Amino acid sequence: NIHGIFFTLYTKAFILKYILPEDNAGQFFSSGHTNNWAVLVCTSRFWFNYRHVANTLSVYRSVKRLGIPDSHIVLMLADDMACNHRNPKPATVFSHKNMELNVYGDDVEVDYRGYEVTVENFLRVLTGRLPPSTPRSKRLLSDDRSNILIYLTGHGGNGFLKFQDSEEISNVELADAFEQMWQKRRYNELLFIIDTCQGASMYERFYSPNLMALASSQVGEDSLSHQPDLAIGVHLMDRYTFYLLEFLEDIHPASKTNMNDLFKVCPKTQCVSTPGHRTDLFLRDPGSVLITDFFGSVRKVEITMETINLTDQIKQKETYSYVDQLPVSEIIHQKPKQKDWHPPDGFILGLWTLILLVFFKSYGIKHLKHIF
């Protein structure tokens, strides 16, 4: 409908020119997402990779605190450090030395664990090509109004990330998976964060729209560990995610902190490596994108200037007690209603008795043999 298209364009132009100030126009046409999802993946096994599990759980803790529920988080941990026999504090995973912050918590819901964390399963989660028997908790049920955070950590190299020290995913495969997600309308905007050696190489091949990417290191650089703990015997976290966690601890659901502030996390003086980011595929200005657009969860509200009296709309309903609703005593003693007439109990027996008495009185017992 050409008239409808022109009307829509005219309405937007009118709002931008006369209703909204120039500096608020970008906020009016903001992200437009209605739900948030997070896919958090640790790809490393074995005790000496304790820090990678702590990295993932740190981000998991932050997104849950900012409002994304477990039903919208797909958590993939390649190893169970909390229950590892080398762990001096079972059922815990710490991100700070001296065991100050337990990121495992009491309500961690791991969706893929151990050998379930594979390249195939990861790609199937992203593209939605899972078997019909897969439960909802293991699915990324996003749509074209979803903002998705994807966080990866593990061991990588130039153009690849290892899974379980037995297989790897390339930057081309990852880029193609994101393109499938875009073609299938599985996201509105996507934030990709990777903490691994030569992490920037993983987003070099991205070509899908509305993608923003961050990495802990440039090509040719290592992503270094942080926080060695003598009691546990390993490093607790990687440097980039450690400072990312400190940054997120100051964020609250109503925070106005934007993505440009996130780009400043862990400069070279702290990380030793050089963090990088890519925003050329992203349609909005990163300065107008709030951190909570990806790390938080939107609240569906409807703003109205009208005064609504809630008491008048509530109809007084007759209340029933439990006994009135369920008359158990009456149900127990209630007799079923008979649709057709049936003789009362003992009627047939009495009738036969009467017939026999009349027969004996009339003929005597000697004629009884004619009956049987």
Find, among 107, 98, 112, the residue nearest to 39 by Cα. 112
Task: Dig out the tokens for 264 from the structure.
Answer: 């400043």
CB 266 within 8 A of CB 244: yes
Amino acid found at 331: I
Alpha helix positions (H), the chain: 2-14, 25-28, 50-65, 119-127, 171-183, 239-249, 259-263, 268-271, 292-295, 310-313, 322-325, 328-333, 347-363
- What does R_g of the chain's alpha carbons equal in angstroms? 35
- Cβ-based neighbours of 157, under 8 Å, separated by 6 or more: 197, 198, 201
3-state class (DSSP) for residue 112:
strand
- How far apart CA 304 and CA 324 sit, in angstroms, is 42
Find, among 85, 45, 18, 51, the residue nearest to 245 by Cα. 51
33 catalytic residue (yes or no): no
- How far apart CA 140 and CA 356 sit, in angstroms, is 83
Instruction: For residue 276, report the phi and psi dihedrals to the nearest 5 degrees.
Output: -135, 165
- How far apart CA 16 and CA 58 sit, in angstroms, is 41
Of 42, 52, 72, 197, which is the active-site residue?
197
Find, among 244, 201, 208, the residue nearest to 222 by Cα. 201
Task: Dig out the tokens for 196 from the structure.
Answer: 């691994």
83 catalytic residue (yes or no): no
Find, among 141, 128, 130, the residue nearest to 38 by Cα. 141
How is residue 8 annotated by DSSP? Answer: H
- How far apart CA 250 and CA 227 sit, in angstroms, is 20
- Cβ-based neighbours of 333, under 8 Å, separated by 6 or more: none
Could you count the other beta carbons within 10 Å of the beta carbon of residue 43?
Answer: 29
Catalytic residue numbers? Answer: 155, 197
